[in-house]
Chains A and B, each alone.
Chain A
Amino acid sequence: MEINCVSNDTAAIITLCGRLAGRYPSILKKKLGEQLRHNSRIIIDMSQVSFIDSTGLGVLVGALKKAISREGDIRLVSPTEEVRMLMELTRVDRVFLVYSSQQLALKSYSEN
């Protein structure tokens, strides 16, 4: 899975591409940890994540807790239907704010 980071003043945008499973959740956990040290406002673009398992979800939730403790947040963009279904099954969809585009997610941060 590929992880791309783009930072700007409002928030850091992390784009994921591929399957968030196997060894990738722990790689993502490290990257998110690093990112949170600079910027506690993060946007994760999930539109190209084809599959996620419970470990992957766990990493996202763990990072969310860290971000909130630093008065930040992790907001998600366009999870696929499959990912969204797993999030709904595990009730994880209730703790994340989800937007249909990166711009809208950025806007939501700047409006705050």
Chain B
Amino acid sequence: MNSLIIIREKHYSWLRGLGSADHPAMVTICNKPILEYMVDFIVLVGGKKIRLVFEEPDGSVEAYFGNGERWGVEIEYGNAQADDTIARVVEKNSSFGEQAPLIVIDGLLFIHYDKNARYEINPEGPGTGFLYNSESGSISYSTADAAERSTLVEFTPNLQISTPRKIVNLFRITMQVLREEQHRYVIPGYGADKGVILGRNVEIGKEVKIHGPVVVGSNVRLLGSAVIGPNVVIGNNVIVDDGAEVRESLVMADTYIGRRLYISAKMVAGSKVVSVSNNASIEVSDEFLLSPLKRSLPINIVRYLFNVCGAFLLALLQLIPFCIFFTLGWLKGDLRFNKSRFLLSSDGQTKIFRTPSGFRTGAIDRIIRSLSLDRFALLKEVFAGKLQLVGNRLIPDTAEGREFVKDFSGYSPGIFNYTEADRLDPGAAESEIAERFYSANRGFLTESKSLMKALMNNLLYNT
């Protein structure tokens, strides 16, 4: 039996507000992605192959699941459009679906299965039917590749299915799993005693008290005389400082909980606290009380060296011509500069750069552009680590620009860019394709090639 799991934006978009770097489908219950519970369930009912079908894929899900080896199942990946019906998705994944029977899970569903139970699917004769059908999603089953789905099909024994639509729903499901259903799933971590599960690399101070049931993620530090539990889930990469008390609460990943803080019946993520009883939420502005913990990104030394050496060489070559031609241009009154704010990265950092513009086309201007001397002033930004030597096109800090860059997680602007290296029209789709393509396939040779092409293009097409 095979399974398609359809991950549609309309079911997951509400999770994007949580500010996690991962795909919303990776949201966790007791530190295990909901998607992984779904995969476990399919394996439990006899599935051999699973295809995760995305409307908006991103690397984080594929990086986590790989080819499914870890779960003893084959996992593949596919695409769908927002308005595709289930039948259409099955058509698009026909080579998969033809090997009936097929279970299709559509929606963000938490299936309250029991790993020790045996489930049977009892269809009313051959054909297809829904095992679960609601506004928030469905589970359908077919024994042949018929497109009609109308009859009701039953799971034996019966299964409870939760469909989280709000953050507090996630809280409720977490508490249900933590308090009553822990034994039904494989929850990540090592079982200590009395319903306490700990992840990898957890540091627990000598006077820390933990009252189960509690699930703690990986890379967590519990300091001093902190008190955790009962009924607490702590995500990965969290610090709970001395004297803090956390009970009946959910602490999401990458959070620092300050000294003596008292957290009861809350959901905490970074500096945001949500009260589960009345949905009120606050942003705590004092970092020593509560703040997000940044995951440190590794700095690419090789890239930095390439940038610095290249910029240095270029600066040496351009120094004298720059002095000569810019002085000439200034004397002639030809020089005009624009100061604009540009985006530096997908998390919204910006900087003001001066870019020469409004040149009256004259011989001096053409020479400056053909020798790429107009970029000379930007070379220093490479040493400051703000710009790459070769990278993405600089995008101005406008609403449109911010939207574009937010959607482009590897965005890294350069003094010379891929669009000009390939002589593409900056507004066209081909430019965006090239920018995304080269961003993801960076390497010494390709970067050098792009730099040479950009310099050559300037030389050839400006004189």
- Cβ contact of A89, chosen from B263, B285, B288, cutoff 8 A: B263
Within 8 A of B (CB), among A75-92: 81-82, 85-86, 88-91
A-contacting 9-mer, from B53-61, B131-139, B176-184, B272-280: B272-280
Number of interface residues of B (CB under 8 A): 16
- Cβ contact of B278, chosen from A21, A81, A86, A89, cutoff 8 A: A81
Q: How far is the CB of B292 from chain A (nearest CB, A)?
A: 16
Q: How far is the CB of B42 from chain A (nearest CB, A)?
A: 41
- By a beta-carbon cutoff of 8 Å, the part of chain B in contact with chain A is 260-264, 273, 275, 278, 280, 282, 284-286, 288-290
Q: How far is the CB of A76 from chain B (nearest CB, A)?
A: 17
Contact status B262-A90, CB under 8 Å: yes
- Cβ contact of B280, chosen from A21, A82, A89, A90, cutoff 8 A: A82
Contact status B262-A89, CB under 8 Å: yes
- Cβ contact of B284, chosen from A81, A86, A91, cutoff 8 A: A86
Is A100 an interface residue when CB atoms closer than 8 A count as contact?
A: no
Closest Cβ neighbor of A91 among chain B residues: B262
- If A53-B286, A54-B289 touch, whether A88 touches B264 (CB-CB below 8 Å) is yes
Contact status B286-A91, CB under 8 Å: no
Contact status B289-A21, CB under 8 Å: no
Q: What residues of chain A lie closer than 8 Å to B273, measured between beta carbons?
A: 85, 89
Contact status A89-B286, CB under 8 Å: no
Q: List 5 A-B contacts (CB under 8 A).
A: A54-B288, A81-B275, A81-B278, A89-B261, A89-B290
Contact status A85-B280, CB under 8 Å: yes
Cα–Cα distance between A85 and B272 once the two chains are bound (Å): 11
Main secondary structure of the interface of A (DSSP, over half): helix
Q: What residues of chain B lie closer than 8 Å to A88, measured between beta carbons?
A: 262, 264
Q: What residues of chain B lie closer than 8 Å to A82, measured between beta carbons?
A: 280, 282
Contact status B275-A85, CB under 8 Å: yes
Known A-B contacts: A54-B286, A88-B264, A90-B261. Give 13 more (CB < 8 A).
Answer: A21-B285, A53-B286, A81-B275, A81-B278, A81-B280, A82-B282, A85-B273, A86-B284, A89-B261, A89-B263, A89-B273, A89-B284, A90-B260
Cα–Cα distance between A21 and B285 once the two chains are bound (Å): 10
Q: How far is the CB of B291 from chain A (nearest CB, A)?
A: 12
Contact status A86-B282, CB under 8 Å: yes
Q: What residues of chain A lie closer than 8 Å to B264, measured between beta carbons?
A: 88
Closest Cβ neighbor of A21 among chain B residues: B285
Q: What residues of chain B lie closer than 8 Å to A81, measured between beta carbons?
A: 275, 278, 280
Q: How far is the CB of A69 from chain B (nearest CB, A)?
A: 23
Cα–Cα distance between A21 and B286 once the two chains are bound (Å): 11
Within 8 A of B (CB), among A20-40: 21
Cα–Cα distance between A21 and B284 once the two chains are bound (Å): 12
Q: How far is the CB of B135 from chain A (nearest CB, A)?
A: 30
Cα–Cα distance between A81 and B266 once the two chains are bound (Å): 13
Q: What residues of chain B lie closer than 8 Å to A89, measured between beta carbons?
A: 261-263, 273, 284, 289-290
Q: What residues of chain B lie closer than 8 Å to A53, measured between beta carbons?
A: 285-286
Cα–Cα distance between A81 and B273 once the two chains are bound (Å): 12
Closest Cβ neighbor of B245 among chain A residues: A91
Contact with B along A7-30 (1 / 0, CB 8 A): 000000000000001000000000
Within 8 A of B (CB), among A40-90: 53-54, 81-82, 85-86, 88-90
Cα–Cα distance between A85 and B409 once the two chains are bound (Å): 35
Cα–Cα distance between A88 and B289 once the two chains are bound (Å): 12
Cα–Cα distance between A88 and B285 once the two chains are bound (Å): 15
Cα–Cα distance between A86 and B263 once the two chains are bound (Å): 10
Cα–Cα distance between A82 and B280 once the two chains are bound (Å): 7
Cα–Cα distance between A91 and B284 once the two chains are bound (Å): 15
Contact status B285-A90, CB under 8 Å: no
